[in-house]
Amino acid sequence: MGRPSFRGRRRWEPRTRVNDHIRVREVRVVGANGTQIGVMQTREAIALAKKHGLDLVEIAANARPPVCKICDFGKFKYEESKKKKENKKSAHVNKTKEIQLRPRCEQHDFDFKLARAIDFLCQDMKVKIYLRFRGRENAHKELGFDAVQRFLDELKLYGKADTKPRLAGRGINVLIQPLSKRDRAANPRANSDEERASLEDESHDDKGVDTASEDDLNNAFENLEVPAEEKKS
């Protein structure tokens, strides 16, 4: 049996290129303090970074020439990871999730939807409760109001309704705002879910920690001042 052929396989490279992984001939260099050093030969820029005990990190690969920053790569990865987690948290803010109910809801279905609503509220999301009447259910709207009120009563420790439940078209709806973290009860499913979520976050962070966000790269490039000589060329 012959040896496997590795011809044609691409060599692995980190998503954010650093030091010797930067293979272009020249780069535009930003100093550790944010000052613009200018366009340099890549090998000279790497030597300059190493002279200060730092790394040359590519932050805008699509620029011409690519933009690199002299910094501590370990600290750079940490800041990017921290920023990604903050963006992930802020993505939940002002987000609204909808829970649909029925006038006659089985207990297991009610409990499942209640747990989902608690999860959303404990993640600082708003929850919209919507109950729709169908057919003969329209003749017994009091059952719908009772079901919604029962649901709201179960959520008192986690959120507060903006208004009383009200009819809207063929159903009842009400919006629940999450209580502040200090005022609301702990999520009863937090212990099991937190372990799973932490593992998911770690796996996501490992995949994305080496990549600067697109907005950051664009901002970094837009803020650079191109010397007058290069503009003419």
**β pairing state of 26-30 and 36-41:** antiparallel
Evaluate whether residue 9 is within a structural domain: no
Angstrom distance (rounded) from CA 230 to CA 233 = 5
Any idea what DSSP says for residue 76? H
Same domain, 182 and 95: yes
pTM value? 0.46
- Asked whether 116 and 139 are in contact (CB, 8 A), the reply is no
CATH number at residue 166: 3.30.110.10
Same domain, 95 and 187: yes
Alpha helix (H) residue ranges in 52-208: 73-92, 107-122, 141-154, 190-208
Q: Which domain holds residue 107?
A: 91-191
Token match 């370990």: residue?
74
CATH number at residue 61: 3.10.20.80
Angstrom distance (rounded) from CA 43 to CA 13 = 18
Token match 């003419």: residue?
232
pLDDT tens sequence across 14-72 = 578 999 999 999 999 999 888 899 999 999 999 999 999 999 999 998 889 999 999 99
How many structural domains compose the chain?
2
Evaluate whether residue 176 is within a structural domain: yes
Tokens of 81: 């990871």
**β pairing state of 55-60 and 36-41:** unpaired
Evaluate whether residue 231 is within a structural domain: no
pLDDT tens sequence across 179-202 = 998 898 998 887 655 544 554 454
Boundary of a domain, candidates 175, 191, 207: 191
pLDDT class for 207, splitting at 50, 70, 90?
Answer: very low
Evaluate whether residue 52 is within a structural domain: yes
